[in-house]
Amino acid sequence: MRKYLHRFYNALQRALAPGLRNSQFAYKEALVAHSRPGIVWLDLGCGHQILPEWMPSSQQDEADLLRRPRLFIGIDADAPSLRKNNLVRRLVAGNIEALPFRDQTFDLITANMVIEHIESPAELLREVHRVLRAGGEFLFHTPNSQGYTTLTARALPQRAKIWFVHFLQGREEGDVFPTFYRLNSPAAIESLALQSGFEVDRLSLEESSAQTVMLGPLVILELLLIRALRWDFLRRFRTNLIIVLRKPVLPA
pLDDT tens per residue across span 113-163:
999 999 999 999 999 999 999 999 999 999 999 999 999 888 777 666 655
Asked if residue 149 is part of any domain, the answer here is no
pLDDT at 97 (0 to 100):
95
Q: CATH no. for residue 30?
A: 3.40.50.150
Nearest Cα neighbor of 190 from 152, 244, 139, 136 is 244
pLDDT at 16 (0 to 100):
96
Asked if residue 110 is part of any domain, the answer here is yes
Domain range holding 108?
A: 18-144+180-211+234-246
Percent of residues, the chain, with pLDDT higher than 70: 90
Sign of the four-CA dihedral 42, 43, 47, 50: negative
In 10 A of CB 41, how many CB atoms?
24
Could you give the count of Cα atoms lying within 13 Å of 104 in the half-sphere of its Cβ?
Answer: 5
Provide φ and ψ at 204, rounded to 5°.
-120, 135
* Spatial separation of the C-alpha atoms in residues 127 and 109, rounded to whole Å: 11
pLDDT at 216 (0 to 100):
85
Q: Is the pLDDT of residue 184 over 90?
A: yes
Q: What is the pTM of this model?
A: 0.92
Asked if residue 154 is part of any domain, the answer here is no
* Spatial separation of the C-alpha atoms in residues 238 and 147, rounded to whole Å: 5
Asked if residue 70 is part of any domain, the answer here is yes
Q: Report how many helices (DSSP H) and strands (DSSP E) the chain contains, helices first.
A: 9, 7
Asked if 162 and 176 touch (Cβ cutoff 8 Å), the reply is yes
Asked if 138 and 128 touch (Cβ cutoff 8 Å), the reply is yes
195-237 residue pLDDT tens: 999 999 999 999 999 988 888 889 999 999 999 999 999 999 9
pLDDT at 196 (0 to 100):
97
Asked if residue 221 is part of any domain, the answer here is no
33-60 residue pLDDT tens: 999 999 999 999 998 889 999 899 999 9
Please tell me the total count of domains within the chain: 1
Asked if residue 174 is part of any domain, the answer here is no
Nearest Cα neighbor of 200 from 125, 131, 95, 144 is 125
Asked if residue 57 is part of any domain, the answer here is yes
Q: Is the pLDDT of residue 174 over 60?
A: no
Asked if residue 87 is part of any domain, the answer here is yes
